[in-house]
Amino acid sequence: MVGWLQRWNFIERAKLERELWEAFERGEPIEQLVEQCEPGFRRDVWTTTQQRIRKIEQMMRGQAEPPARPDV
């Protein structure tokens, strides 16, 4: 029973994370979506995912451009 519950939780969490990632990819304001979300499991998952998205976004911005490759 515990294994089934853990599997369900993992699947539901993945679905909710994907929803927010898709909203981010569409250019929607994810902070606003999280704020408008009712307290509960979805909001908990979205809050964590929002932080992860912004952290990844910062890391990607901070990466240096790869050096230009000379024409061969």
Averaged pLDDT, 20-47: 96
Q: Which pLDDT does position 7 carry in this prediction?
A: 77
Domain chopping of the chain, boundaries: 7-51
Q: How far apart are CA 8 and CA 4, in angstroms?
A: 6
Residue 45 has pLDDT above 90, yes or no: yes
Percent of the chain whose pLDDT exceeds 70: 85
Mean pLDDT of the chain: 89
Q: Is 19 exposed, middle or buried (0-12, 13-18, 19+ CB in 10 A)?
A: middle
